[in-house]
Chains A and B, each alone.
Chain A
Amino acid sequence: MAVFVLRRLGTMAITMFAVSVLVFLLLEISPGSVATKVLGPYSTDEQRTLWLEAHGYFQPLWVRYGNWLWNFVNGDFGDSLRFKVPVSEILWPRLANTAILGLVTFAVMIPVSLVLGVAAGMREGSRLDRAISVTSIVTTSVPEFASAVFLSAVFVFWLKWLPGTSGMAEGFSFKELILPVLVLVIYDMGYVARMTRASMADVMTTPYIRTAVLKGLPYGRVIVRHALRNALIAPFTVIMLQINWLLSGVIVVEFFFAYKGFGALLLEASLNQDIFVIEACAMVAVFVAVATQTIADVGYAFLNPKIRFG
């Protein structure tokens, strides 16, 4: 087990290293364009050269990458060109806001999708199963921005129950969180429900479930004590991998509802060529994604006795 965990951590480190090279090359391969972004399109060649000189851009590429990585690991992401403050000052609060959004989304999405998936997979082919399956196809077909538009047309424009933006200008407001969370839950729920259904349906056909039913155990007990234990291993991985999807989803949702989160920051930075913010956001996003994948793998191995004792 320890070897397995160490190997997964090693893979994670290698992936992060490769990603950092990719991000660095993509954004900083040409020093000229970096200087143009930093100093603006109306700067003179002389100014750009001076800036490049002062910031060590005339060193070889690999030295620049080494310095860049060193600063990054030490939490120095450079300054935001737009806000004129260190990137870390704006990044962490934004990340905290997105964490709130993500946690509430998961707190709603996981129970709902697990219950739906188990209910559908319990009796494969039943009317309930078909209804849940078709519904989950429909909800995953509607892109996040479209369900955001539909939900705000109903709840904001027509019924006037909820605010249309979630800027949290007057402090934290639960009401402003409802629509963004709903949009994310609707989109992600279908997939997790389908995976849970498949896993549950799989378990229901195994001999030990048939034995449990045939020896006369109450059906509810067969489901809760026997089936769920094995059926919920696969969804655990799916849910962890869902965090990767959520990182894409929050960009759309935060942009739509003007929520001051990490996704909106990345998008604004990209649209404004705020290069050091883009780099920091990209690395943080990938770190979160890779870390959750690693946790998913290790967790799967830990939960699955076939691997744990294997």
Chain B
Amino acid sequence: MNQRLPSAPARDSAFRRAVRRVALLRESPVGMIGAGIVLFWVLVAVLAPLIAPFEPNATYHPYARPGAGHVGGGTFWLGADMIGRDILSRIIWGTRTVLVYAPLATFSAYVLGILMGLAAGYKRGWVDEVLSRLGDVLLSFPVLVLYIIVIATVGASGVNIVIAITVAGAPGVMRIVRGLTLEIGSRDFVAAARLRGEPAWYIMAVEILPNARGPLIVDACLRLGYVTITIGVLGFLGLGLPPPDADWGSMINQARGVAMAFPHMTVFPCIAISSLVLGFNLLADGLREISLRD
């Protein structure tokens, strides 16, 4: 690994190059820990039906303390909530909720943000002016205020949450992409492509975007963590996904009234969400460290 050959690996397949990039992460212990945490939660989400000891929405023994046994066999390792649902099973199933909605919302914010950013940075002129001003207006809202008024107006549902996060997140992505596009767009290979007579969409998609991927991947990772928090916060404020399906934020919201007497109902979902966000942030930090190195 240490004695890299000087020849350029030009003919490698895209897959092999991707594998080598991931292997680079081994050089950053912080990034490895982050990747490990994220991988752990992904596995939990995938294996949910196999590892959850109870049905997530079935009611068993209200207010069971952590470690209490169930009459029909089994143990409530993390206790049960006010109506007797097993907290461990709900956390396990809730992983699916967050790992579906957070990447989905982040991805759609990225698609919109990249389109806007490329257009603003490449076309410049009035397109840039209009898009940037629009972005400034949206960014001037304190995010949570925007979410609350939008979701309280249109109603809380999975789709609406994704739309709200997309609209609020896209301007931030746009700013980054715009800056990168302005910088990359002034390079020689872009001028060459323009002289070849390539259409604008080709230059944006094939020449500019792939060269902007480094900072975007780091930002996407940070944003994933932030969107995870947002989904948690919305659930916690009672604006999350409709019941009864397990969702970490909503679990905390529902148990809020009795949390002072039964902290296990709120503490464990909070540990779950904090560790997942920490995983994303450590991963982002590791990726940034590596990208700065070369």
Q: Is A4 an interface residue (CB 8 A)?
A: no
| Contact among A15, A141, A281 for B277, CB-based, below 8 A | A141
Contacts of B149 in A (CB 8 A): 23, 26-27, 270, 278, 282
Indicate the size class of the contact surface on chain B. Answer: 35 or more
Give B221-259 interface residues, CB cut-off 8 Å to A. Answer: 225, 229, 232-233, 236-239, 249, 252, 256, 259
Are B152 and A271 in contact (CB-based, < 8 A)? yes
Beta-carbon contacts of B73-109 to A below 8 Å, as 1s and 0s?
Answer: 0000000000000000000000000000000000000
Q: How far is the CB of B162 from chain A (nearest CB, A)?
A: 18
Q: Is A38 an interface residue (CB 8 A)?
A: no
Are B148 and A137 in contact (CB-based, < 8 A)? no
Contacts of A168 in B (CB 8 A): none
Contacts of B151 in A (CB 8 A): 270
Do A141 and B278 contact each other (CB < 8 Å), given the known contacts A26-B153, A252-B236?
A: yes
Q: Is A138 an interface residue (CB 8 A)?
A: yes
Q: Is A142 an interface residue (CB 8 A)?
A: yes
Report the bound CA distance from A131 to B71 in whole Å: 47
Contacts of B252 in A (CB 8 A): 145, 149
Contacts of B18 in A (CB 8 A): none
The secondary structure that dominates the B interface is helix
14 A-B contacts, Cβ less than 8 Å apart?
A: A15-B136, A19-B140, A137-B285, A138-B278, A141-B274, A141-B281, A142-B274, A143-B233, A143-B274, A145-B270, A146-B271, A152-B263, A271-B239, A289-B140
Are A266 and B148 in contact (CB-based, < 8 A)? yes
Are A286 and B140 in contact (CB-based, < 8 A)? yes
Q: Number of residue pairs across A and B with beta carbons under 8 Å?
A: 122
Q: Is A208 an interface residue (CB 8 A)?
A: no
Report the bound CA distance from A243 to B272 in whole Å: 28
| Contact among A144, A150, A256, A285 for B142, CB-based, below 8 A | A285
Q: Is B273 an interface residue (CB 8 A)?
A: yes
Are B142 and A245 in contact (CB-based, < 8 A)? yes
Q: Is B137 an interface residue (CB 8 A)?
A: yes
| Nearest CB in chain A to that of B285: its residue | A137
Give A248-291 interface residues, CB cut-off 8 Å to B. Answer: 248, 251-252, 255-256, 266-267, 270-271, 273, 278, 281-282, 285-286, 289-290
Report the bound CA distance from A281 to B152 in whole Å: 14
Are A153 and B267 in contact (CB-based, < 8 A)? yes
Are A18 and B137 in contact (CB-based, < 8 A)? yes
Are A157 and B260 in contact (CB-based, < 8 A)? yes
Are A164 and B260 in contact (CB-based, < 8 A)? yes
Q: Is A88 an interface residue (CB 8 A)?
A: no
| Nearest CB in chain B to that of A11: its residue | B136
